[in-house]
Amino acid sequence: MINWFEHLYPYTNVHELNLDWIINHFHDFINEINSLEAWRTQHETEYNELLSLYNEVKNDWDNFEAGNFPQSTYAAMKKWWQDNAVDLVGELVRFVFFGLTLDGHFVAYIPENWHDIEFDTIVTPGENYGKLTISY
């Protein structure tokens, strides 16, 4: 019995301690243990509630990934895609189309979202005359 006490209080002489002090100290330990047990019980309930909510959300997400979702969700997603398809394609697709106009001039059709890129041709006589340049 003295070993554990000396381990906790290495600079204390057990024979000089007041018994009331020791009893009060043990009561404090017991109160702390009871407090920790109450805290654990309270948080265990909260943990179980959160775990239950997590499992519900995970189940819904797994169903969603597998394509098993309500028709209302499908309809809402389809409507959103239809409403935003043009903007999405405009942001994702970055093609430049080249061709000739009806009067024989060279033309490049550039997406509107390429406003920071400048197309031009070299007008200085020489080997590179007429070549297309791109500046950004």
Q: pLDDT for 44-57, tens place per residue?
A: 888 999 999 999 99
Per-residue pLDDT tens digits for 58-90? 998 898 888 887 888 889 989 998 998 878 877
Judge if 8 and 59 occupy the same domain: yes
Tell me, what's the pLDDT at 51?
A: 93
- Residue 58: inside a domain: yes
Tell me, what's the pLDDT at 10?
A: 58
Judge if 11 and 49 occupy the same domain: yes
Beta strands per DSSP E along the chain: 97-100, 106-109, 118-121, 132-135
Output DSSP code: residue 14: G
- Residue 81: inside a domain: no
Whether pTM exceeds 0.75:
no
Given a cut of 70, is residue 22 above it in pLDDT? yes
Question: What range does the domain containing 45 cover?
Answer: 2-69
